[in-house]
Amino acid sequence: MAETLLLARGLCKSFGALRASDDIDFDLKEGETHAVIGPNGAGKTTFIGQLSGDLRPDTGTIRFAGDDVTALGAPARARKGFARSFQITSIYREFTALDNVALAVQAHAGHSFRFWRKAREESALREPARRMLEEVGLGARADVLAANLAHGEQRQLEVAMALATAPRLLLLDEPVAGMGGDESRRMVAFLAKLKGRQSIILVEHDMDAVFSLADRISVLVYGRIIATGTPGEIRANADVRSAYLGEDAQ
Amino acid sequence: MTFGLVFEQLLNGVQFGVTLFLMAAGLTLVFGIMNMVNLAHGSLYMVGAYLAVAATNWTGNFALGAVLGLTGALLVGMVVEVVALRTLYERDHLDQVLATFGLILFFNELVAILWGRAALYTSLPTWLQGHVELFTGSRYPVYRGLVIVVGLLVALALWYIVTRTRIGMLIRAGASNRSMVAALGVNIRFLYTAVFGFGAALAGLAGLMAGPIYSVQPGMGELILIQVLVVIVIGGIGSIRGALVGALVVGIVDTLGRAFLKPLMGAIISPTAAEAAGPALASMLIYLMMAVVLAVRPEGLFPSRGG
Amino acid sequence: MPGRARVTFWAAMIVLLVLLPPVVAALKQPFYLDLMRRVMIFAIAAVSLNLILGYGGMVSFGHAAYLGIGGYAVGILAFYGVNSGWLQWPLAIGASALVALAIGAVSIRTSGIYFIMITLAFTQMLYYLGVSLEMFGGDDGMRIKTRSQFSGLVDLADPVVFYYLVLTLMLGSLYLVHRLVNSRFGMVLRAAKSNEGRSRALGFSPYLYRLAAFVIAGALCGLAGALLANHTAYITPDFMHWTRSGEIMFMVILGGIATGAGPLLGAVALLVVETVLAGWTEHWQVILGPLLILSVIFFRRGLAGALPGARDG
């Protein structure tokens, strides 16, 4: 029986009169890929924000590997082993791809109050970064400015940065958003290689990606989780079909 | 330190606060709605003061001079917005700061060219000179009382406009979510010019009323601008209510501090120490207050920015 | 090749600056020696601001405060008969660092418009403090009768010796900031400016790094203040007037944000323009103002963007 890595209980978050998260219970087991799907406006972004530490739940708790992390902000959670990719690509546009990943490596290489040695000449940062770029298929683009990468390459870069932090938990917010057919298949294949080795929470609209990657799926509608189960169970679930699968996004 | 003296200084504090409010209201609206740092707001204060003095000397009539000065400030504000500031709305705050800084240099020097560097003193018409008897038994200048009354009336009018009218609704909506207002199809350019002109008029009003109390000279705008910034930081950007509360607090604390801190310190510590440290501490008082507010509530007391 | 261009640029720059005193002496134009010394002192202030503003994205409108603190440290000690530069200058730097720590600790919790206004307000507070210190001349300031003494090693009263000292310190400052912004520390600072959300998601908490940068910048500007006090042999609260802050910011922008040579080029440009305009008319600010506005609107990349080799940080 796999260990529970992340346990969220009773998450509630309101913005004025809008209940974006309504008493959400959610858990992630070690090594599993747990996808979160739901129609637009269901509150997925708010949910992810509370898991990542960017938003504080009004009530509810989040436990990570047994520790209560509810009060921790995003940087603290990242240092505990959270890594995320953003729905809208969030990278360092003025830096090269290699610089980007090297920064991710640096974030987990102790404190950065080192004032003299040039970071770009530190092999302890550059080598792991280069390897990670190779692994995601961007090895040849290492010295290209991130702003000049293609959209799909930028999203690959973002995943590379997340992985470079040697995370215990990966939060992927719509990793194939905006990608064409070939690109998204490549990304899905890459994510499939991570299955089992990483514990992943995957928020996605792309049903092909979700059903091929997920071990479990939770369905979020109007801020509530209406169903959690294996892909087969979810596909067969009548509530889910009526609430969501009727308006298949892809 | 009699009660009468304290009350008189309290009134002075309210009068100063009201002046600060007129400045802060315009500035915070421009910050909140156009997301623009306008350091040249103090220049509009100065322009109002100078135009009023010039108009009064030209027409021989104080009230007429005030009206002309106010109109002049409004026009100058709108011209400046259209000519120089329009391009800056999309730019980052650094560019806005630097460009409006250039405007300050320009206006200060322009005013020096036209009227010289020496301070201009305005004389009040007879109907505004003189004092009123206060219930405390002391006398208070009629003019300062008038400034307080006018300022509070403007505050009331602003409150009414902002909370009860359609344009006020647009302003409040704009202060918290600019792009939504634009998406609603409102003519943004006109709204911006109108808001900016209105803010300029308020600043000009503050300036022309302040002229007879303080002096009219190049650079007078910057002296008060910093204090206006303190008001806005304490009150919260984009909030008229915050501007009023912040302005009154800053005005009263600053005035009372300057009047009473030295004697208070002299009584508690020692007269010689108070002599040296008193004025210094009094001038730093509002900034220390700002630091405390920031430590506790970095967004200010009544923040209104949302989107 | 960027590396080649950069070496060439700096070599040329250094040669020009080193050769200036003899050339000026030969042409019998000591004014230019004074001017360039002033330019280089402000270049130190500008490079310190470039660290936090250009690379760190912190629009501090209060940087002139540290010119004042550094200058007053020298002036006040001289007033009490302590003329030793060995005591004065470290105190100038240390006091600036402490004040930067205090102001930064409060201000850096904010950002955007708030940060600009708060740094501006704190600087003005220090200005008023300076004005209220009657003992040290208040509004008018005071003369410094003896320049900082360095046990006879360096005579600051000698214009040429002082010039070379300033030149050395300026080159040192430029190099220091260059190493800082390329170190791990500098990378965090620049990353936080580039994308704060991504930085936090990676695990960086920008606050402490920004505060450290703010303190370093303040300290370096304090050194510039000590130099300026010796240059003018006079200190006034105007050292820390907010318009002085604006001038330094302009030097950084005009020269080119986050560039290696920007601060120096900007200082040269602004001070030379001011000097030329002041020669034409006493109302030179009425021309400078619109010039600055135009430069902001149209001239975005700064001078360093146009000169090969000057851009690289």
Question: Model confidence over B25-78: pLDDT tens digits?
Answer: 989 888 877 888 888 999 999 999 999 999 888 888 888 888 999 999 999 999
Average pLDDT, chain A: 89
**pLDDT exceeding 90 applies to what percent of chain C?**
54
Confidence at residue A250, expressed as pLDDT on a 0 to 100 scale: 41
The H helix count followed by the E strand count for chain A is 9, 10
- Which residue in C has a C-alpha nearest to residue A53's C-alpha? C201
Confidence at residue C76, expressed as pLDDT on a 0 to 100 scale: 92
CA distance C97 to B36: 31
Write the single-letter amino acid at A182. Answer: D
State whether residue C277 sits within 8 Å of chain B by CB.
no
Q: Which of B27, B261, B287, B292 to mutate to test the interface with C (most CBs of C within 10 A)?
A: B287
Looking at per-residue confidence, does C126 or A242 come out higher?
C126
Query: Cα-flanking dihedrals φ and ψ of residue B92, to 5°?
Result: -80, 170
State whether residue C186 sits within 8 Å of chain A by CB.
yes
Confidence at residue C174, expressed as pLDDT on a 0 to 100 scale: 94
Please write the tens of the pLDDT for every residue from B176-230. Answer: 666 676 677 777 778 888 888 889 999 999 999 998 888 888 888 988 998 998 9
Residue A247 has pLDDT above 60, yes or no: no
- Which residue in C has a C-alpha nearest to residue B294's C-alpha? C106
State whether residue A89 sits within 8 Å of chain C by CB.
no
Residues C301, C284, B55, B229, CA torsion sign: positive
- Nearest beta carbon to residue B113 from set C109, C135, C283: C283
pLDDT band at C209 (very low <50, low <70, confident <90, very high): very high
- Nearest beta carbon to residue C194 from set A54, A95, A108: A95
Smallest CA–CA separation between C246 and chain A, in Å? 27
Confidence at residue B307, expressed as pLDDT on a 0 to 100 scale: 30
Asked whether B42 and B221 are in contact (CB, 8 A), the reply is yes
Instruction: Tell me the mean pLDDT in the region C194-213.
Output: 95
State whether residue C168 sits within 8 Å of chain A by CB.
no
Residue B271 has pLDDT above 80, yes or no: no
Confidence at residue A184, expressed as pLDDT on a 0 to 100 scale: 86
Confidence at residue B304, expressed as pLDDT on a 0 to 100 scale: 65
State whether residue C198 sits within 8 Å of chain A by CB.
yes
> Do A115 and C185 lie within an 8 Å CB cutoff?
yes
Residue A207 has pLDDT above 70, yes or no: yes
Smallest CA–CA separation between B117 and chain C, in Å? 11
Confidence at residue C72, expressed as pLDDT on a 0 to 100 scale: 94
Name the DSSP letter for residue B123. P
Confidence at residue C216, expressed as pLDDT on a 0 to 100 scale: 97
Please write the tens of the pLDDT for every residue from A1-41. Answer: 578 999 999 999 998 888 889 889 999 999 999 999 988 77
- Most confident of the following: A83-87, A174-178, B26-30, B303-307: A83-87
Residue B272: list chain C partners with CB under 8 A.
none
State whether residue A122 sits within 8 Å of chain C by CB.
yes
Asked whether A147 and A93 are in contact (CB, 8 A), the reply is yes
First to last CA, chain A: 34
- A1-81+168-250: which CATH architecture? 3-Layer(aba) Sandwich (3.40)
Contacts of residue B288, Cβ cutoff 8 Å, sequence gap at least 6: none
Average pLDDT, chain C: 90
Please write the tens of the pLDDT for every residue from C104-145. Answer: 998 998 888 888 888 988 888 898 888 888 888 888 889 888
- pTM for the model stands at 0.89
CA distance B172 to A223: 29
Instruction: Tell me the mean pLDDT in the region C179-207.
Output: 95
Write the single-letter amino acid at B307. Answer: G
Residue C121: list chain B partners with CB under 8 A.
226, 229-230, 233, 287, 290
Smallest CA–CA separation between C302 and chain A, in Å? 18
Smallest CA–CA separation between A89 and chain C, in Å? 10
Residue C114: list chain B partners with CB under 8 A.
233, 237, 294, 298-299
State whether residue C289 sits within 8 Å of chain B by CB.
yes
Please write the tens of the pLDDT for every residue from C68-113. Answer: 999 999 999 999 988 888 999 999 999 999 999 999 998 998 888 8
> Do C288 and B105 lie within an 8 Å CB cutoff?
yes
CA distance A139 to B112: 63
**DSSP 3-state of A5:** strand
Complex-level ipTM: 0.90
Confidence at residue C110, expressed as pLDDT on a 0 to 100 scale: 85
Residue B3 resides in a domain? no
Query: Helices C64-79 and C85-107, interaxial angle, to 10°?
Result: 140
Please write the tens of the pLDDT for every residue from A62-117. Answer: 999 989 999 999 999 999 999 999 989 999 999 999 999 999 999 999 888 999 99
- Nearest beta carbon to residue C125 from set B94, B99, B287: B287
> Do B103 and C289 lie within an 8 Å CB cutoff?
yes
Residue B108: list chain C partners with CB under 8 A.
285
State whether residue C194 sits within 8 Å of chain A by CB.
yes
Residue B226: list chain C partners with CB under 8 A.
120-121, 124, 242
Looking at per-residue confidence, does C299 or B109 come out higher?
B109
Residue A187 has pLDDT above 90, yes or no: no
**A24, β-bridge pairs:** A11
- Most confident of the following: B89-98, B118-127, C164-173, C282-291: C164-173
CA distance A209 to C141: 72
> Do C195 and A118 lie within an 8 Å CB cutoff?
no
- Which residue in C has a C-alpha nearest to residue B36's C-alpha? C113
Instruction: Tell me the mean pLDDT in the region A216-223.
Output: 90
List subunits contacting chain B, requiring 3 or more Cβ pairs under 8 Å: C
- Nearest beta carbon to residue A52 from set C184, C201, C204: C201
Would you mind telling me the total number of residues written for chain C in this entry? 313
pLDDT band at A249 (very low <50, low <70, confident <90, very high): very low
State whether residue A114 sits within 8 Å of chain C by CB.
yes
Tokens of B243: 């501007």
Residue C129: list chain B partners with CB under 8 A.
280, 283-284
State whether residue A166 sits within 8 Å of chain C by CB.
no
Residue B1 resides in a domain? no
> Do B233 and C246 lie within an 8 Å CB cutoff?
no
> Do C283 and B103 lie within an 8 Å CB cutoff?
no
User: Number of structural domains, chain B?
Assistant: 1
Looking at per-residue confidence, does B270 or C269 come out higher?
C269
Confidence at residue A1, expressed as pLDDT on a 0 to 100 scale: 58
List subunits contacting chain C, requiring 3 or more Cβ pairs under 8 Å: A, B
Please write the tens of the pLDDT for every residue from A147-158. Answer: 999 988 999 999
| Domain that residue B149 falls in | 8-296
First to last CA, chain B: 49
Instruction: Tell me the mean pLDDT in the region B285-299.
Output: 84
Q: Which of A48, A92, A126, A143 to mutate to test the interface with C (most CBs of C within 10 A)?
A: A92
- Nearest beta carbon to residue C296 from set B98, B222, B276: B98
Q: Which of C55, C189, C196, C198 to mutate to test the interface with A (most CBs of A within 10 A)?
A: C198
Residue B128 has pLDDT above 90, yes or no: no
Confidence at residue B127, expressed as pLDDT on a 0 to 100 scale: 78
- Which residue, C309, C217, C303, C313, is CA-closest to C265? C303
State whether residue C214 sits within 8 Å of chain B by CB.
no
Instruction: Tell me the mean pLDDT in the region C229-253.
Output: 91
Instruction: Tell me the mean pLDDT in the region B126-148.
Output: 82
Looking at per-residue confidence, does A67 or B121 come out higher?
A67
Average pLDDT, chain B: 85
Instruction: Tell me the mean pLDDT in the region B148-157.
Output: 90
Confidence at residue B174, expressed as pLDDT on a 0 to 100 scale: 64
Residue B1 has pLDDT above 70, yes or no: no
Contact residues, C window 42-71, toward B, CB-based 8 Å cutoff: 53, 59, 61
